[in-house]
Structure 1
Amino acid sequence: MMADALFLNELSSQLSAKLAVKIQINQAERIQGGDINETYRLVTNEGPWFLKVNDARRYPDMFAKEFSGLSTLRNTQTFAVPEPVCHGAIYGRAFLVTDYKEKGGASTDFWEGFAGNLIKLHQHTQAHFGFNEYNYIGTLKQYNTPYTNWAVFYAFNRIMPLAKQAYDRFLLDKPLVTQLEQLCKKFTSIFPDERPALLHGDLWSGNFMVGPDGKACIYDPAVYYGHREMDLAMTRLFGGFDTRFYYAYQSLFPLANGWQERISLCQLYPLLAHVLLFNGGSYVDSVKEVLKEWQ
């Protein structure tokens, strides 16, 4: 599914039409960009851009949703976020083009600044949990049906849809799904009340970089209005975030008591997502550990 000459010629035409200026793509350099998409640095007469490509038949609207998510984050003016330029499909290949962010060296207060910007993002709120459309976490559909109660939202839009998919694919057995159902019934008594916070939604160490200004640039969002502990728990799932980040966040916008204990509960959603994305494996054991902890 390489970005061949025919594809690039048509992409040049679409970019030219979109931007009302003649765009000539001189080179498409393949770069490392995660497990899901092919990624390229486009060298053009108007500077570099970033290109993602995938199979339009398998994921017909994934990049449209990512375009929307990036736009939502940019509109908050809290973080550096790649500017989405255009998306579409060419010869059966879905694509997304954004501006290209150069990497820089971290400023001395990088982690404190990261925490401060995340707080500003989380202070964007609305009346209900959810989002104005469904979107994706990885390649999995993320349901955003609005609820005014976080516990109900988390159960019906996050945990149980993935549990059902995992059961249907023989990745989770019936007793495990039953345990998940029972745990969902406890959410109301476990989670403290919080206003819906605008979340990045998939904030692990692979979805940020140090920008040229020495500050955090975030991308690959799975945005929705949710409980802000979800973003913090996601940062803890695979490491890569400095202790200063958490101290700064907690000192400026304290989380409710017991947030450390709820980390595993908030990680249950991305763990279930990884069960589906990676066909079970050790992630099933991680789900079992969370269930054991909250029995």
Structure 2
Amino acid sequence: MGAGELNPAAAVAELTGLTPTGVHPLADHVFEVDTEDGDLVVAKYDPRQGAVDAEVAGLRWLAEPGAVAVPDVRAHDDRWLIMEQIEPSAPSTVAAEDLGRRIADLHAAGAPAYGASTGPEQAWIGLAPMRCVPSPEWAHWYVTDRIAPYLRNAADRQLIDRDGVSTIETLCGRIDVPHEPPARLHGDLWSGNVVWARQAWLIDPAAHGGHRETDLAMLALFGCPHLDRVIAAYDEHRPLADGWQARVPLHQLFPLLVHTVLFGSGYARQAVAAAQAALRA
């Protein structure tokens, strides 16, 4: 399209009609763009097929219940996403407790099925492809659509040894969790996708229907400011099922396998350790 390969100013001008006055890189292919009217927007470039459509659909689906704060989508095409800019500040315990309650309400808004989304069937989690096909039963869906594809990829590339594969496959045959209806998940809720301001904002979703404990387990995986306050407020607002703490490694297995296929065998060791912990639970 005419908005320019990696030309965020041209993309903002063409897609929004605003006049850019400055561009500041924020991350790889992500830019903050100043505009003539004093506004600030974020321009994100992603040429992968369906990636922008999936993110736009996810942001709008998460915003729909009015539970969590997500950036407003200003404009997009098949490569560029133009969003509201959020000015970050230091995380606070008040914002953390508010986030816990808001995530609980987001989850309670529900989804039509596990794996369901409002975006394309072929979606993404970070840089990895992710299938979004509805399923009526959580454990089977979690194994077939969230564990098996990444385990197979890692095994084929010899990132996980045979013993590790066997451990994870053993766990897949023994999954037993309390039944809960499909929750509306952010889907990639690690701490880097939380922008702290007066309230916490959620960005970069891989939104789909799933088990609510998965979002919380992912939030704990790489550390999150005031995580204890987030979880306590969530649990007080909408109590978690008994034994949820013991199931954290089971839910962390999915993002650890995704990281294995993206970043290598160091994460494979963590994935096997999570499977071993889940088998002991």
Per the alignment, residue 195 of structure 2 pairs with 209
Cα distance in 2 for residues equivalent to 1:262 and 1:87: 38
- Residue 289 of structure 1, CA deviation: 1.1
Shift of 1:9: 5.9
Give yes or no for the alignment of 1:183 onto 2:178: no
User: Is residue 52 of structure 1 aligned with residue 44 of structure 2?
Assistant: yes
1:1-295 equivalences in 2 (<5 Å) = 7-8=7-8, 10-16=10-16, 22-31=17-26, 33=27, 37-46=28-37, 47-54=39-46, 56=47, 59-88=48-77, 94-104=79-89, 106=91, 109-132=94-117, 133-134=120-121, 135-187=123-175, 190-211=176-197, 214-242=198-226, 243-281=228-266, 283-293=267-277, 294=279
Distance 1:120 1:251 in 2: 12
Change in 2 beyond 3 A, CA 1:88/1:288: same
Point out which structure has higher relative CO (alpha carbons under 8 A, 6+ apart).
2
Cα deviation code 1:57-80 (max 9, x no counterpart): xx2221221111111111221122
Equivalent pairs counted in the alignment come to 272
Cα distance in 2 between the residues matched to 1:198 and 1:161: 22
User: Relative to 1, partners in 2 of residues 1:118 and 1:69: Cα closer, same or farther, differing over 3 Å?
Assistant: same
Secondary structure of 1:162's partner? helix
Length-normalised TM-score, structure 1 = 0.85
**Identity rate, percent:** 32
Deviation at 1:201, TM superposition (A): 0.9
Relative distance call for 1:7 and 1:248 in structure 2 (3 A) is closer
Residue type at the aligned position of 1:28: V
Q: 1:6 to 1:111 in 2, by over 3 A?
A: closer
Q: Residues 237 and 107 (structure 1 numbering): CA distance in 2 closer, same or farther, change over 3 Å?
A: closer
- Contact 2:110–2:183 (Cα < 8 Å) also in 1: yes
Listed one character per residue, the Cα deviations across residues 233-265 of structure 1 (whole Å, up to 9, x for unaligned) are: 011101124212111111221111111110011
- Structure 1 distance, partners of 2:31, 2:9, is 15
Q: Secondary structure at the match of 1:85?
A: strand
- Asked if the contact 1:122/1:228 (under 8 Å) is kept, the reply is yes
Q: For 2:110, give the aligned amino acid.
A: T
Q: 1:53 to 1:8 in 2, by over 3 A?
A: closer
Aligned-pair distance for 1:228?
0.5
8 Å CA contact 2:6, 2:45 repeated in 1: no
In structure 2, C-alpha distance between the alignment counterparts of 1:5 and 1:195, rounded to whole Å: 42
Q: Write the letter of the residue equivalent to 2:87.
A: E
Relative to structure 1, the CA distance from residue 179 to residue 270 in structure 2 (aligned partners, 3 Å threshold; closer, same or farther) is: same
Contact 1:235 1:241 in 2 (8 A): no
Q: What's the secondary structure of 1:11's corresponding residue?
A: helix
Q: Structure 1: where are the runs of 5+ without partners?
A: 17-21
Secondary structure (helix, strand or coil) at the match of 1:27 reads: strand
Deviation string 1:13-43 (CA, Å, 9 cap, x unpaired) is: 5224xxxxx4211111112x3xxx3221101
CA contact (8 A) 1:30 1:41 kept: yes
1:62–1:139 Cα contact (<8 Å) kept: no
Is the 2:184–2:210 contact (alpha carbons within 8 Å) kept by the matching residues of 1? yes
Note if contact 2:12-2:43 (Cα within 8 Å) is conserved in structure 1: no
Contact preservation (8 Å) 1:229, 1:259: yes
Matches of 2:133 and 2:92, distance apart in 1: 39
Q: Distance in 1 between matches of 2:167 and 2:93?
A: 45
**1:26 and 1:289, CA in 2 relative to 1: closer, same or farther beyond 3 A?**
same
